[in-house]
Structure 1
Amino acid sequence: MDLQFILDPYSCIMYITSYMLKSERAMSELLRKVAEESRGEDLKAKLTKVGSAFLNNRELSAQEAAWKQTSLPLHRASRARVFVNTAPKEKRVSMLKPQSVLQDMADEDDNIFCTSLTDRYESRPDILKDMSLIEFAATYKTGGQDVPDEVFDHIPDVRHSCDDQDATCSGETDEEDDKRYPPVITLLNDMGQMRKRKRHCIVRFHKEKTDGEERYRNLLMLYYPWRHEDVDLKAGFSLFKDHYDSVKDTVHVNEAKFSVHAEVIEEAYENLQRNGPPEDVWDSVAPNVEYQQAEQIAEGTTTQNDLPEENDRDNIDLAPHRNTNDQSELYRRFSTDLNTTSLTSSIYRSMMRSLNAAQMEVVRVHRKWCKDSIYALQHDQPVPQYTLFLSGPGGVGKSHVIKIIHHETIRLLQRLSGHYDPDELSVLITAFTGTAAFNINGMTLHSALGFGGGPKKSNEYKPVGSEKLHNLRLRLGKLKLLIIDECSMLGSDHLYHTHRRLEDICGTCDPDSRFGGVSILAVGDLFQLQPVGQRHVFDLPTDSYAKLHGSLWEENFTMMELTECVRQREDQDFAQLLLRMRTAECTEDDITVLKSRIISKTDPHYPSEVLHVFKTNREVDDHNKDHLQKLSTQHFHIQAIDTKKDIYTGLVDVGLYKTSNDRGLKETVSLAVGARVMVTVNIDVSDGLVNGALGKCRK
């Protein structure tokens, strides 16, 4: 028996929790069954089925399965929890009274909603007039039989004595509990009675992170006593901030009771989500085990249970989260796509007449799928799925085909199947970058499927939270076609994440399913450069188990290619030169023609005002600085204030850090009236404020 001293209780909790929640890998019976079913198939097919078994199944004990099926609680807590809704009145959800109560009410009676926590707080007795909302929620609860008013005359204003053999003597009552508050209170306005909890409960509430009026309203509502919400929260001031500034000392005192080290904990949690648990914590829990493992590694006797994970960097092209509600922002994004105007009949007919043979064949394939899908939906059958890669160089009309396919999907599938409500999507156009999404009136893939932006420690798939998943299902639950433009910028990891996210949204449990049964039309040119920080879309993903599954691209996608150049149809020589450049098959004549277009900066006809592309940031900065200095207009220099808070000491370190660690933000931004500027993050794709959008500074 290996017995060791525990020196750090929190490390012990982490060790036990990690052991309880470890991945179940004892799936020998399932894998044996998979091996028997795939007998006679080639090795690649066997690995694909084994990968599907790992990705779509988990081992579960009979007791745990029964516990979950009967919805029994999986954990118990020593303290109750209550949520305080601090949203404005018009945004709160109210619960109707029971049907039996409503039937006994008069028809003209409009008091049809149950009383909420804020209603009871407004009706608290005068003895609690100085109690804040958060303390009221933590101290008092409803429930139990009513107590007559005369009981108050006989209840002393002290805690229970230990002679009662109550839980209060075992340390289950908060020692900080205020003795001034009675154990039973009668609410005003005939709202009944409430009892004091033996232990303060944990209060949950939404925290506004932005320094706006909403944040100050929340702070006043939670931590400053008030009686009438519509009047007292502003208390005669024009702004919530002005009222907050006048009473902030009281607010801070009340906040300190319930938000102990809140900022430090939040920062530590974000650091855990970003970087994972610290590896050295295991040394303090089981040092002997760590020492034995180190010896095994040195001797080369360690058994490698997992395939190594590669730590490639995500190719993220998103703006930081804006200061808006995540769910309302998600609703706005899809509402924009729903309101995208479809083609008029005349434009649609004109576009159809302009199709060449290859383009028409793609449209025919999609139109047949639409008709088959309509039949399947009308007869409650599974909708057929296709995964098509539409390839071709620039200028062959890929975007032209996308617009027609999008229009026909709405015109045929969504309107004729009788399966869709007006606010439901059957087809969604996406692209990897904001510029590409704006050009086709679509969304970025990150926004559409709820992928988070910013740097990540690994390319591991991160499931979305339950609330956000619910909203995605409301919008995309009936999605049948996902169009991904510029798919050459999509890496193999991101394709795998797209597959997993669509599986989550569609609630698919079939191990043989791909992309949740949603058809995928990937459009692009794989002769373009490799995605930044990722493997090619046709390579294996870096996820250890997904590698066993095989390449989603090679196993599922078929290709149709457009070859006829439409954009340069009037200049076939130039069009053919571009095609040879695409495949790196330039002739000597091609190289001579290209070199003849080289122009020196000293040339009087040098186009200095056009957009320049450089391979390093240093060259970009030098070029921009040179052009700014040539402007005789008023100049502005904006210095960044970069701060970093130590999570252990709480000290704030003010200094300038590497640009790569600050999401590309510069130490100093220099501008001048008349200078050309470029947006480097996606702000609003539907409005064209995307990475790469150009503008000019005006005063």
Structure 2
Amino acid sequence: MCLAEFASDYRVVYGRQTESPNAIPLLNDEGFIQKRTVGKPAIIRFTHFSEEKTPEKFYRRLLKLYLPHRSDADPRDEAHPTYEEFYKCSDKWGMRVEEIVRHNKKRYEGQGKNMEAAFQQLHVCSPLVNAWNSFAPEVGVDRLECLAECEPRDQEQNSEDVPEFGTKKDKGSSMPRIDAPELSPDFVRKMYQSLNETQASVFYTVRQWCLELVWGHNPEPFYYFLSGGAGCDKSHVIKCIHHEATRILRELPRFRDHADRLLLTQAVADSLHCSALSLHIYATNKEVDRHNADIVTASYKDAIGVAARDFRKDPRTGCMTFVF
């Protein structure tokens, strides 16, 4: 067995694994090994040397990896003091050493020279932009024909001037504004078009409320709770609502009257002292749950707590499992 086969097909075992019937003891109490039975053989790594610049290191690597031996002195003898001479001129077990090395080398370096030549060519010539055309030129012709048969696109659609999506730049106005995010009209239009029926109903309800507020109708405040599982586009709906509401409300004064200033300057130490109609923002879900529990407890004396059970889909079996 050569060193390459030993490193690829066997592994060192420790502890209780040494008691396995498949464990093989090494000589001189050097430990135990076991043949790999699960998966493919291991990939071995070794250094590379140039046959022209460092021939001794080059042939030493070949002999160490692919010639069976028990000590470092075996790949050389008195008749062949160098590794190169031993590789080219010596015999082992009635066979040429060079033939033994080549036979074992095919398993691990069967395409070694071809790969090195390919990498060298790639380094010298750089990657080809249309390399695929040299292997399958008919594919390139089909692609060009498909492009020629495509209907011409309307270039004016991308540059369409939509007044509602434009940013007003009235420098003469003394009213403070909230600037809307700078998004292209095309991108915003695609955002709105991707909303499903339920999402669109929420979006247009909020939009109508913003318009009535700008028109001075003083609509009643609304309270929406947006919920859903992972991947149901909650963030996408919020992004659409935020962009449209910001665009509509940007012309409103930042502080409508003195009462609003007083409300914003008040410092509330406890959330229970704050109005239930106020918007509370917390950093974690645990703080949100604690706040909701405090509000419910303070509002209803006969409140009953029910522990909810969370379930999650197991990706391996596809069944719903209980989450502790």
Q: Shorter chain as normaliser: what TM range?
A: 0.3 to 0.5
Larger radius of gyration: 2
TM-score by length of 1: 0.18
The structure with higher relative contact order (CA 8 Å, sep 6+) is 1
